[in-house]
Structure 1
Amino acid sequence: MTSASRPDCPLLTDHTVTELARAGEIVLDSWHLYDGAGIAVDRHRSRFTAHLQEVFGVDKDETVAAYDHALAHLPSDGSWFPGFVWTSKGLRLVLRPFPVEHLRSSTTLLLQGTLDARKRPDIKGIDYLSQLYAHRQATDAGYDDQVLATGDGSLTETVFATLLIAQGGELIVPDAPRLAGITLEVLGERAGRPVRLDTVTPSRLLAAPAVFTLSSLHGVRVVERVNDASYQPNPALRDRLQEVLDEARGPVADLLGEGTQLPCASC
């Protein structure tokens, strides 16, 4: 979709998520769109709706209508990373291309005991600016992302992903305040391995036989290094978990139904 062909719709914006977050409180939803399809998009919409009811007091029907309106404007081909951003003025769709060659199947993590200072780690977007700062600390130090910790030193997640330890046939996730990730939810139902919540300390993470991160953009990524500690990557397990996710990918158009009407006259 080019700016020349883009409809004159108030939901579509040239602002970035960062600019919208600087202008006021936001709630965010985002996921990878590839050739008009996404993984468990209906669940993303439901989580977004629930968060908006709590933060902004927005009626469910209004949220769903706005979200579906935005979905109807998504491209049907190519690789994209759409951001659904609810602001004080309503929904804004931030649509940016994300070439598939930029998708990563591995990652490196900085672990330095950084306190998870988010006010609402369970709601995506509210603490976006502080997350950017923590993420910049990691990239400035030469890492892809940073692990966050609670006040007692146990780990929560990375700045932009869920931590996942594979050990003894189980998938272990930190039992700590964090975002209820859709990617983790799908894996928990489909992977054929039990997912268990447990306390994850820095020493346990460093001693783990295999560590992964989960996100709605990159899916499953193998952690190759935490600080100076290198892991023996398990790409075969990563590929199996990613295949499970890909099986949950479906056309966005299926969520809209035939004859869906766009609510703004300019569309």
Structure 2
Amino acid sequence: MTTTPPPAPPTTTDVTRLEIDGAPAAVETLRARALDGFGHFTAMQVRGGRVRGLGLHLARLDAATRELFDQGLDGERVRALVRHALAGDGGADGATGVIGDASVRVYVHAPDGTPSLMVTVRPPTELPAVMADRAQALKSVPYVRPVAHIKHLGGFGQAYHAREARRAGYDEALLTGPDGTISEGAVTNVAFFDGHEVVWPDGPHLAGITMQLLQARLADAGLPTRVGPVRLRNLPGYRAALVVNSWGVSPVRRVDDLDLPLDEKLMATVAGVYEEVPRDLI
């Protein structure tokens, strides 16, 4: 079966707007961030000026800022800076006017001890409409992100393994521990379906926003969900698998040499639950 490749990871060349603390990025402020890999971020898909799980994004930013920089981060400040970047007065490509649909990232550094926010705006990312065209092949790799519960900067390891997976003909890397314990994808959370419940691996991982939204709602749709150990050697015992991130929900068609069927009912339920999550006004 021929599938449509998933969207490519974002690059620095597709940034439409970039602001630091509400002002156009200057050389000096960009230089400080280029030389400082200590920080964290969140990534969101904005549609019509709204985003799913906004409160979870703000909570993630606040918690990581407290852990890394010993101070909180006001959610209203984050919202105001994102609104300002979307409103725009000219960006990296000279664009002006309000952008309603976009891929937005909020980065947090503290170059002088005070949290400083960089907001980037890129074109929105859309998954293929047909679920089969989203299906991904995962290549397992022996790597676990350090401090995995934080969406931190400096992800060379996961980027390296993701690139190598794509070079080998896969769509995504599946990060695993020394004993084959599954953690997460390079840029996704992964879940496995045994015919009764959805199991999210309990290896070190980032609790993604889409994952959290689904965990809170799947049971009401008749899909019990839990977090537990999943190992590569156990995968033949699962009926299906899926990956999720801010782009949405996609089925997994293969892990290494193991083919997995596309469970249409499962994917329709999970995708339907996600699509029904209301978007919050930024």
Task: Give the TM-score taking structure 2 as reference length.
Answer: 0.76
Q: Classify 1:8/1:195 alpha carbon distance in 2 versus 1 (closer, same or farther; 3 Å).
A: closer
CA distances 1:115-152 after superposition (whole Å, capped 9, x unpaired):
21x22111002442322112111111111111111233
Q: Classify 1:3/1:248 alpha carbon distance in 2 versus 1 (closer, same or farther; 3 Å).
A: closer
Among 63, 68, 77, which residue is 1:66 paired with? 77
CA distances 1:151-196 after superposition (whole Å, capped 9, x unpaired):
3321111111111011132010112211122212211221122212
Letter in 2 for 1:198: G
Residue 264 (structure 1) aligns with: none
CA distances 1:27-85 after superposition (whole Å, capped 9, x unpaired):
01012112222111111111111111101123333xx2431122323366554211110
Among 93, 101, 108, which residue is 2:119 paired with? 93
Among 128, 133, 136, which residue is 1:107 paired with? 136
1:208 aligns with 2:238: yes
Among 82, 95, 106, which residue is 2:104 paired with? 82
Q: CA deviation at 1:202?
A: 0.6
1:156 aligns with 2:183: yes
Q: Runs of at least 4 residues of structure 1 off by over 6 A? A: 6-9
Structure 1 segment 120-131 matched on structure 2, within 5 A: 120-131=147-158
Letter in 1 for 2:142: T
Q: Classify 1:8/1:45 alpha carbon distance in 2 versus 1 (closer, same or farther; 3 Å).
A: closer
Letter in 2 for 1:66: R
1:198 aligns with 2:215: no
Letter in 2 for 1:124: K
Contact in 2 for aligned 1:109/1:225 (Cα 8 Å): yes
Partners in 1 of 2:182 and 2:38 — Cα distance? 26
Q: CA deviation at 1:109?
A: 0.5
Letter in 2 for 1:239: A
Residue 174 (structure 1) aligns with: 201
Partners in 1 of 2:207 and 2:20 — Cα distance? 34
SS at the partner of 1:157? strand
Q: Classify 1:70/1:106 alpha carbon distance in 2 versus 1 (closer, same or farther; 3 Å).
A: farther
Letter in 2 for 1:56: F
SS at the partner of 2:216? helix
Contact in 2 for aligned 1:107/1:225 (Cα 8 Å): yes
Count of residues in Structure 1 that have an aligned counterpart in Structure 2: 244
Letter in 1 for 2:68: V
Q: Classify 1:59/1:188 alpha carbon distance in 2 versus 1 (closer, same or farther; 3 Å).
A: closer
Partners in 2 of 1:119 and 1:158 — Cα distance? 14
Structure 1 segment 32-51 matched on structure 2, within 5 A: 32-51=45-64
Among 161, 167, 171, which residue is 1:140 paired with? 167
1:183 aligns with 2:210: yes
Among 37, 57, 64, which residue is 1:24 paired with? 37
Q: What is the percentage of aligned positions where both structures have the same residue? A: 24
SS at the partner of 2:162? helix
SS at the partner of 2:180? coil
Partners in 1 of 2:80 and 2:48 — Cα distance? 18
Contact in 1 for aligned 2:16/2:121 (Cα 8 Å): no
Task: Give the TM-score taking structure 1 as reference length.
Answer: 0.80
Q: CA deviation at 1:99?
A: 4.5
C-alpha RMSD of the superposition: 2.9
Partners in 1 of 2:161 and 2:76 — Cα distance? 34
